[in-house]
Amino acid sequence: MKLRLRHLLLPFVLFSFVACKKEISKELFNGTGTGAGDFYATIGGNLWNADSVQTVLVSSDGVSINGISKTGDQISVLLHAFKTGIYTLGAQSSSYAIYANLLNSNANVYVSNAGSAGGTVTISSIDTVNRVVSGSFEFTLTNPADNSTETVAKGVFDYVPYSAGIVGVVPPPGAPKDTLEVTVDGNKFFASNVEISDSAGQILVAGFSGTQDVGLLFPSDITAGTYNLDFTTGLYIGVYNPDPSVTLLSQANGTIMILSNNTTTRRISGTFNFMATPVGSGPTANLTQGYFAANY
């Protein structure tokens, strides 16, 4: 099954804003699976280092390997399987790579599945005890908007932790259903698909319906109570994408109320509301009467 790009990019948009306010410390791997590993490459001949965010998310559809630098430059590799081997990227491949700057609203996006772009990604080892993955990559990417290219070479991800939970797993029969619903500008939004990740001390709950998606980010150890949604804190964030090209955020204008967070059964539920606004100028959306319940 081909990975759905927008489903996997939402967490990284959120993590990029977290990185602006709360940089994740980079530590040498100590054999326990904690801390970040080495994640670097050269982009256009210049050294790039994922010194702000490193995250590997595993789902039933495959795996996404993602790094973001302090300057907002992101490399994401999306593979159709999570196992050792060499993956070839190209216009016809189900696996692909992306490079863009998340902090620049006018940033160019370079991809490996357009024109003559392509490359390879190697997963050399998966340590299932310490839950870390290592490998290498190199590719030439194309911007479909103007056919310009960008070269990513000498890429390495070494002992990078992958998510402790599986993202997007279908619950067994009889298990509580994952749900996310909200009213957007008076229109009801029901998520046809809800995906969860629990990584780097943060839980992301994301719901998708057609071209729209709604996401909530908050600390994994959150307890019952009410919290302000403000992306500048890097802790409690609401995001709404009316379509893949527009990202609207909670900016000190909403709340999330956690009704329960059962750390034994790993199920969380709550309500939320916020005014979704752009970082600069642009359209807004009012999200009210939001509710979610999900296993993580």
Residue 291, beta-bridge partner list: 181, 271
Determine the average pLDDT of the residues in 235-256.
Answer: 88
> Are 31 and 116 in a shared domain?
yes
Domain membership of residue 206 (yes or no) is yes
Distance of CA 250 to the CA centre of its chain: 17
> Are 157 and 184 in a shared domain?
no
**Domain termination residue (choose one: 135, 161, 187):** 161
Domain membership of residue 48 (yes or no) is yes
Domain membership of residue 251 (yes or no) is yes
DSSP H or E stretch at residue 166? none
Domain membership of residue 166 (yes or no) is no
> Are 133 and 239 in a shared domain?
no
151-184 pLDDT, tens digit per residue, is 999 999 998 888 644 333 333 344 457 889 999 9
* Bridge-based pairing state of the strands 96-101 and 110-111: antiparallel
> Are 14 and 156 in a shared domain?
yes
> Are 41 and 157 in a shared domain?
yes
**Domain termination residue (choose one: 126, 161, 196):** 161
> Are 90 and 131 in a shared domain?
yes
The pTM for the full model equals 0.51
The predicted pLDDT at position 178 comes to 83
> Are 190 and 76 in a shared domain?
no
- Domain residues for 286? 179-295
* Cβ-based neighbours of 164, under 8 Å, separated by 6 or more: 131, 198, 199
Structural domains of the chain, count: 2
> Are 244 and 207 in a shared domain?
yes
The predicted pLDDT at position 286 comes to 96
Tally Cβ neighbours within 10 Å of residue 206.
28
> Are 144 and 211 in a shared domain?
no
**Domain termination residue (choose one: 161, 195, 216):** 161
* Residues 119 and 152 sit within 8 Å (Cβ to Cβ): yes
Domain membership of residue 26 (yes or no) is yes
> Are 65 and 128 in a shared domain?
yes
> Are 127 and 9 in a shared domain?
yes
Domain membership of residue 146 (yes or no) is yes
The predicted pLDDT at position 24 comes to 30
Determine the average pLDDT of the residues in 231-253.
Answer: 86
Domain membership of residue 63 (yes or no) is yes
> Are 13 and 144 in a shared domain?
yes
Domain membership of residue 172 (yes or no) is no
